[in-house]
Structure 1
Amino acid sequence: MNSKNLLIIDDEKRLCDLLARILELEGYIVHKAYTGKEGLTLLAKHPIKVVLCDVKLPDFNGIDLLVLIKQQKPFVQVIHLTAYGTITDSVKAIKNGAYDYITKGDDNDKIIPLVAKAFEAADKVAVVQQQQTAQKGFDAIIGQSALLLEAIAMAKKVAPTQANVLLLGETGTGKEVFAKAIHDASKYKESVLLAINCSAISADLLESELFGYKKGAFTGALQDKKGLLEQADGGTLFLDEIGDMPLHMQAKILRVLEDGTFIKLGDLQTKKVQVRLIAATHKNLLEEVEKGNFREDLFYRLSVFTLHLPKLNDRKEDILFLAEHFIKQFSASTVKMNADFQQLLLQHNWKGNIRELKNTIERTLILSTGASLDSSLLPASFNAASSKINTNLDMASIEEEHIKKVLQYTLGNKTETAQLLGIGLATLYRKMDLYSIPKY
């Protein structure tokens, strides 16, 4: 597939031909259409990644055409060509998914860099979509360590059965990925997989979300609502962090496991469902049973098939595989990790497991300006842990340099900088004062 295919849709033939000539000189393969219908036909025939489209066409409004283009090829980036007085329409189009807009005749010098950036964006979206399509089931689990392969083998054995599964492991070890893989390899794969985090919402909301309610069950219950159990009938329900579920709800889940029945809030009638339950927790449930925080009967009901997911520090040989996977996910261009960068990844204590690694790679790609990832892009804690790298810098100097780089990337936006650094805004201001960093 040629990565340089571009489509111009404009009923002003002279302008269309001029733009085509400019872009052809830059090495693009340009396809021209003078109506929206003609443009959609060409889009279907050719591997087009970027479209320059007039806002006003004889047969289409450009904003309406944008919707059809995205439906046909979601990764395609659309740049609107706008005449004076139609900029408002283009701003609206950007909100609906257009990449950008340029004013006809006045912005010819902006076309070439804008088109180049649009191609980069199209490549990035296409890669992510291909990965999401290709990586189904156990193919989505990255790594080759013995511990991981053992967990995958166990999961593959239980997947085709009707057994409920309990996934145990630290936060960020991939419990949700395993749950999806088990679902995709089961007889329920053609039905839905629904998930809820039992620790993320209040007990009252969790109960109504899981079991649903009848109209008038409580203030604000203006109509009947199906809960996740009912919605997942014939499929799979993933209960993440079940160790944080309140005791009174544990009794209701136990009943679902025993006979597949439950009662909606405010209802008197029993409902029956056929749902496969996959539960997960980072807690030691036996200890929670001893403390009186978790029902013993529910624990034994859930733990018929228990799968322990290894933490990342116990499968260090998978770190570089995962890092490469995340680089491909977040970057359209070819980016390599240099030796020092790889060494620091291998030496780091990954308390946040795969989730921490994913966030680290995403952050370094944001800060990177070249085709190579080096140790200077990693947070200060990584560099400070190595005696081989930056030996002439103390930890404060490394931190100061890192903050400056992130501020430079965000163009001085303190809120965004604090988010990227993983610190509070007040902490950022305090460190900027400490290191005498200008506040722009």
Structure 2
Amino acid sequence: MTNILIIDDEHEIGNFFSHLLTRKGYHVTVANSGKEAINTINMQNFHLAMIDIKLPDANGLTLLKHLKRQLPTCKAIIMTGFSTIKTAVEAIKLGADNYIEKPFDNIDELEGKIDELLENNVTDTKKEIVQLAKKTGLIIGTNTSMNELITMAYKIAQKNVTVLIEGETGTGKEVLARFIHQASNRTEQSFIGVNCGALAESLLESELFGHEKGAFTGASQQRKGLFEIANNGTLFLDEVAEASHAIQVKLLRVLETREFMRVGGNSPMQTNTRIIAASHANLYEAVKQKKFREDLLYRLDVVKLEIPPLRKRKEDIPLLVHHLLDKQNSNHLRFSDEAMSLMQNYEWFGNIRELVNVITRAITLADGETTIITPNYLPIKLTSTIEQVSPSQNLKSPIKSTAYDHDFEAYLNQWVMEILQMWKNDSNVDFEEILNQIKLFEDQIGKAFVTKALRKTLGNRKEAAKHLKISTRKLRYLLNEKGTDL
């Protein structure tokens, strides 16, 4: 028989669950205090425990920890009021399988959650996570931090809460957002993403909220915004820290009231859109610097997920490489042990986005020549011993210019030789390959000149931008959006 433990100091709650679950054939034990709960857990075995987050003599999280130590396989549901949702999320991090909010408005839904949790074992859950990850292109790998992150994302996906994803540029924040959408009850609805730093304020406002005909010059007809289009679905706000203060105010209103107005409109509109926001910048630091509204941060940071950078999950690089080869229909190619070792020793400050660029380049060069990709097909930055400097790291002393300049000159010579080889090739020319080579060359040139400017200014980005005759915003774009490993 399935044993269920109810831990709640309200006798009415205990009686309610005892009647509801006994009628379904479960054996129910009720504990009305923390002390009674601990004694019960020590003496009996349970398949499911439902724990109130607040008891007069105990904290629900403390009881959860004790439960998981004594009965590791016991499922756990945290019972919470709306004001303690963040605490409930912490409970999930500690091993809780779900949480439910008081009061219990929908009894059928409540029964369904309990039955589903008892019917599904750990293997089934892991299998579903793997299937959803494969569907969205999310590579879980073996890294402990990444596995814990994905498990947490899966658990909160079905909750109607706002999620904030933080992580360095190129770590795959949008892929994680898509995974959450697919694991949620909104999977049949729209998932729409927008980069808040890619559009000017007026364009972003119209994109998010829509506009009425004649609202501004060029508004020849009414246009729906993303909050309207993504209603009942998921809206992914990438680089939300780049949104202007005026846009931040409007976003705050949507999160608080679920209402918005089109540009030039007079009537508020309702939206049931779930918001997943992302930022490569630390929003708490942005608040300290008066670049981001504190009240908006608290509205966004209901559940925060931090994606580890690739350099902290290097054991997953072979799996990622295999996935990328498969994605580009290049399973006939493989990387030599030496090439794979170089990739695992590289710091990847551009993260998975940079890895994708390196793999694409190697496939392009090796295709038709070999089936084994050796270090000769890797960029010089992977094979060089030159010190790698993170984009977030301030340069307090210059890199030795002789070493760097030599490395850059070698790259230029190699690139010219490769293009000349294509030029002299008498067979058909793959023009798309040439364009890809030009793009890679553009990225490396940009990286080189930005690095040189940062060396000259000892890491002062404002001075470096001035030296390059570009805006600091453009410099940030070169550092953060192009996968540059500065």
Q: Quick check: TM above 0.5?
A: yes
* Contact 2:330/2:363, CA 8 A, preserved across alignment: no
Match of 1:301 in 2: 299
Give 1:361's match in structure 2, choosing from 349, 359, 368: 359
Structure 1 residue ranges, 4+ long, deviating more than 4 angstroms after superposition: 133-139, 393-399, 410-416, 423-428
Match of 1:374 in 2: 374
Residue 405 (str. 1) matches residue 425 (str. 2): no
Give 1:205's match in structure 2, choosing from 189, 199, 203: 203
Aligned to 1:150, the other structure's residue is in SS state helix
Deviations 1:53-72 (A, max 9, x none): xxxxxxxxxxxxxxxxxxxx
Distance in 2 between residues matched to 1:191 and 1:411, nearest whole Å: 52
Structure 1 residues 427 and 228, CA, compared in 2 at 3 Å: closer, same or farther? closer
* Contact 1:137/1:185, CA 8 A, preserved across alignment: no
Give 1:420's match in structure 2, choosing from 431, 436, 440: 440
Give, in angstroms, the shift of residue 287 of structure 1: 1.3
Question: What letter corresponds to residue 382 of structure 2 in structure 1?
Answer: F
Question: What letter corresponds to residue 188 of structure 1 in structure 2?
Answer: R
* Contact 1:198/1:241, CA 8 A, preserved across alignment: yes
* Contact 1:216/1:223, CA 8 A, preserved across alignment: yes
Give, in angstroms, the shift of residue 411 of structure 1: 5.9
Structure 1 residues 343 and 210, CA, compared in 2 at 3 Å: closer, same or farther? same
Deviations 1:52-110 (A, max 9, x none): xxxxxxxxxxxxxxxxxxxxxxxxxxxxxxxxxxxxxxxxxxxxxxxxxxxxxxxxxxx
Aligned to 1:238, the other structure's residue is in SS state strand
Question: What letter corresponds to residue 234 of structure 1 in structure 2?
Answer: N
Give me the CA root mean square deviation: 2.7
Aligned to 1:195, the other structure's residue is in SS state strand
Aligned to 1:307, the other structure's residue is in SS state strand
Residue 310 (str. 1) matches residue 323 (str. 2): no
Give 1:286's match in structure 2, choosing from 284, 287, 312: 284
Give, in angstroms, the shift of residue 425 of structure 1: 8.0
Match of 2:270 in 1: 272
Structure 1 residues 399 and 343, CA, compared in 2 at 3 Å: closer, same or farther? farther
Question: What letter corresponds to residue 218 of structure 2 in structure 1?
Answer: G
Give, in angstroms, the shift of residue 385 of structure 1: 2.5
Deviations 1:146-188 (A, max 9, x none): 1110110110111011011000000001100000000000011
| Structural mapping, 1:206-355, within 5 Å | 206-355=204-353
Question: What letter corresponds to residue 441 of structure 2 in structure 1?
Answer: L
Aligned to 1:140, the other structure's residue is in SS state coil
Match of 2:71 in 1: none
Aligned to 1:278, the other structure's residue is in SS state strand
Structure 1 residues 174 and 425, CA, compared in 2 at 3 Å: closer, same or farther? closer
The answer for unaligned runs of 5 or more in structure 2 is 1-130, 388-405, 426-432, 449-486
Structure 1 residues 212 and 278, CA, compared in 2 at 3 Å: closer, same or farther? same
Deviations 1:243-264 (A, max 9, x none): 1111111111111111210010
Structure 1 residues 336 and 232, CA, compared in 2 at 3 Å: closer, same or farther? same
* Contact 1:407/1:414, CA 8 A, preserved across alignment: no
Question: What letter corresponds to residue 420 of structure 1 in structure 2?
Answer: L
Give 2:174's match in structure 1, choosing from 173, 176, 179: 176
TM-score by length of 2: 0.56
Distance in 2 between residues matched to 1:254 and 1:425, nearest whole Å: 40
Structure 1 residues 357 and 410, CA, compared in 2 at 3 Å: closer, same or farther? farther
Structure 1 residues 278 and 224, CA, compared in 2 at 3 Å: closer, same or farther? same
Deviations 1:25-70 (A, max 9, x none): xxxxxxxxxxxxxxxxxxxxxxxxxxxxxxxxxxxxxxxxxxxxxx
Deviations 1:353-396 (A, max 9, x none): 00000110011000002111000001112122399xxxxx9875
Give, in angstroms, the shift of residue 414 of structure 1: 7.8
Distance in 1 between residues matched to 2:330 and 2:434, nearest whole Å: 27
Match of 1:106 in 2: none
Distance in 2 between residues matched to 1:427 and 1:328, nearest whole Å: 29
Structure 1 residues 137 and 258, CA, compared in 2 at 3 Å: closer, same or farther? farther
Structure 1 residues 407 and 185, CA, compared in 2 at 3 Å: closer, same or farther? farther
Q: Share of identical aligned residues, percent? A: 39
* Contact 1:213/1:267, CA 8 A, preserved across alignment: yes
Question: What letter corresponds to residue 419 of structure 1 in structure 2?
Answer: K
Give, in angstroms, the shift of residue 277 of structure 1: 0.2
Aligned to 2:263, the other structure's residue is in SS state coil
TM-score by length of 1: 0.62
| Structural mapping, 1:92-171, within 5 Å | 136=134, 140-171=138-169
Structure 1 residues 361 and 142, CA, compared in 2 at 3 Å: closer, same or farther? farther
